[in-house]
Chains A and B, each alone.
Chain A
């Protein structure tokens, strides 16, 4: 991971500090299985430098941005760069304090405390990814206030206080546009430093596709990436909604092409069919047909 950062041109000083951080904190055995190399890399040295600096300073991060900006990929990459285990905590409107911190349970005839993901992450010095933090009710998140500020602890009523491991950090992600989201409470927002995630650029998308599909021809890599940029532009000009602007969908489509599905059909599955309005679907279909020929298949898209 650090080699990747060097390749990306992240400041050597920060990389050195990262190495020191990794050397200072061991990962307990029971948390090791939560460490795995990231599936995708996040490209963009400027954001890397901002995020690494903030985390080295002991801050928690809030990654905000529209759909398909790689918030979760970046959070996962950061945990890997810092060499820490990850706890993914997907928040929903039904998330409550107990589902984050833990609750009482009955075991062997005794009432015992069962740790929640936040408590475990705090104890083992992990990176807790609070996914779609603005989906949760602010009342539920209030329990995190003392965890996220200078107190760095979790006080569990009736039990002991858990002090946060010095390597523990929390990275929250949020998207204002999704259905089911709400404004983040000011008290909670003030406990994070906020990084606004930009839309993925043409260059980074091509790099991403190349790394994910090394045998993808440069010509079609460029075409897929241009297609995604055109989708972004169409969304920005309000001709279509953001439903089809789905990076995961594009990557899934390329994977389907690799599996043998004709390109246009694969893109329909991954992108077009995510829109349920027939007029909008037609516009996206036109966009694809003006980039991708009907007969294109894996023999032309991928090198031998």
Chain B
């Protein structure tokens, strides 16, 4: 769900679209109450202006006014006039506007300040609202004339209104309206985000953010994603990992045992770190650490999600329905004794002798076994330019499964300095934590084989009967720590990447499948990555082009898997 202001913004847009009867434009103006809630009346008026007027001349006028220093005042005056002129037509369609307008007028009048404290726009608004309520309000001669000029005749079209407004600006404010394409005279604060990253190298993140007080001033910040430049001792590595990625869920002994079991064969020189993203000193604000980058990325992920909220919610809804369909279709049936059905010859005597009518075989639906789903997000630096999208895709899948009441665990993985880090966002028993998936942030390499082995190991230790692993990855395993192999007594080291990386990942997937875990993948990379994806995951892979496509494709794969569990 969007946080208050974005949620209210979306609400305001919805009111406008609804009043305009058109959902194909982005409103230039939204109206909010002083408390920050979407204002029903004024947003209806904004929508009505779109509906009853040709908006192009007005849009052009607003654009020209927007370049003037007192734009807010002039825009307010124009909206005052438009609200007056559009009202009769809008009320014809929506009689409720009469009530809403009176409520609005009451609010304005009751909250108005004394005349001498008011700015021009406030004076005119108060006087206009007082007039609607049949009251009188103080206005000086010039203001009264201005008000008279602003109350546009409802019969005027938008071009005539625009001309009248130009005259008002010239007559009362002696100002010349700038041309549509003249350069701006006031300062515009840039808002952009530039990210540059190289695999396994420091990523210099330059972003421009608004300050915490929300005054709209943007302060540039430069962050550096740290990596370990030299081989560390285990202790140094561990403390660095805890500082940047969060505390391990395992104790030192458990950690060593885990590495002993899993970091074998080609991964023998690797380490593991499993974390929930919790820090020893949660309050401390470490500067220039990966932790801070993660916080900024979280904001980016959430903004992307809010900007595409409708699409994402529709995808979740569709995916939920499709998965729920399969869960509801339980093909397994149990035969039981019933009063009607197929006659059981051996039981007929009971009917005759015991008057027991249950001599037929009926069917009784039987329950499916426990099922858990693990979602594994590739969080390597190769995903850096699509982090928001991957977080959203992970969220869509997890939320859809959650709505079907399936236990879901969502983790991301990356490899930094030979250590494969598994970051747990939400666990089976925390359905309320899906939003934590937006904490997803990419860094380092991806040693897919080891990550899949680790995820599989943790799944096999759970109590669930049926297990499904969904991997969202670009299916291009890559690590700077080499892969160890042996031909007879001779040791060989290969680069972990390309065909070797794919072969290793494919081997791990196949090993998990043999142990009863169903594995399927969503390829988040480019279409060219699909052959490698197929090599690793076989036919159980879909390519996530858009969120809508992802929903359909992933739902299809999940459905097929679930059906197999049920048969």
Residues of A whose CB lies within 8 Å of any CB of B are: 93-94, 96, 98, 103-106, 109, 111, 114, 137, 177-182, 219, 223, 226, 230, 233-234, 237-239, 241, 278-280, 282-283, 286-287, 289-295
Flag whether B363 is at the interface (Cβ < 8 A). yes
Q: B40 to A289, Cβ gap below 8 A? A: yes
Closest to B548 in A: A238
**Known contacts A279-B2, A293-B99: A104-B325 contact under CB 8 Å:** no
> Interface-forming stretch among B196-204, B262-270, B339-347?
B339-347
Q: B96 to A291, Cβ gap below 8 A? A: yes
Flag whether B116 is at the interface (Cβ < 8 A). no
- How far, in whole Å, are A23 and B15 apart by their CA atoms in the complex? 55
- How far, in whole Å, are A178 and B40 apart by their CA atoms in the complex? 32
Q: A104 to B96, Cβ gap below 8 A? A: no
- How far, in whole Å, are A221 and B239 apart by their CA atoms in the complex? 70
Given contacts A93-B329, A290-B44, 15 further A-B pairs with CB under 8 A are: A98-B340, A98-B342, A103-B340, A111-B343, A137-B329, A180-B328, A182-B325, A226-B93, A230-B18, A230-B21, A233-B23, A239-B310, A287-B14, A289-B40, A289-B100
Interface magnitude class on chain B: 35 or more
For B359, give its contact among A106, A114, A283 (CB under 8 Å): A106
Interface positions, chain B 1-42, Cβ under 8 Å from A, are 1-2, 7, 10-11, 14-15, 17-19, 21, 23, 38, 40
Closest to A220 in B: B95
- 16 chain-A/chain-B pairs, Cβ below 8 angstroms: A98-B340, A103-B342, A104-B340, A104-B343, A105-B357, A180-B325, A180-B329, A226-B93, A233-B21, A238-B310, A282-B11, A286-B40, A290-B15, A290-B40, A293-B95, A295-B99
Residues of A within 8 A of B427 (CB): none
Residues of B whose CB lies within 8 Å of any CB of A are: 1-2, 7, 10-11, 14-15, 17-19, 21, 23, 38, 40, 44, 93-96, 99-100, 310-311, 313-314, 317, 320-321, 324-325, 328-331, 339-343, 348, 351-352, 357, 359-360, 363, 365
For B341, give its contact among A93, A98, A137 (CB under 8 Å): A98
- How far, in whole Å, are A290 and B14 apart by their CA atoms in the complex? 11
Residues of B within 8 A of A178 (CB): 321
Closest to A111 in B: B343
Q: A241 to B317, Cβ gap below 8 A? A: yes
Chain B nearest CB, measured from A179 CB (Å): 5
Residues of B within 8 A of A104 (CB): 340-343, 360
Q: A234 to B342, Cβ gap below 8 A? A: no
- How far, in whole Å, are A104 and B341 apart by their CA atoms in the complex? 6
Closest to B348 in A: A111
**Known contacts A181-B325, A289-B96, A293-B96: A238-B314 contact under CB 8 Å:** yes
**Known contacts A106-B357, A111-B343, A238-B314: A177-B321 contact under CB 8 Å:** yes
Q: A94 to B365, Cβ gap below 8 A? A: yes
Residues of A within 8 A of B365 (CB): 94
Q: B18 to A287, Cβ gap below 8 A? A: yes
Residues of B within 8 A of A106 (CB): 339, 351, 357, 359-360
Residues of B within 8 A of A114 (CB): 340
For A286, give its contact among B38, B93, B320, B328 (CB under 8 Å): B38
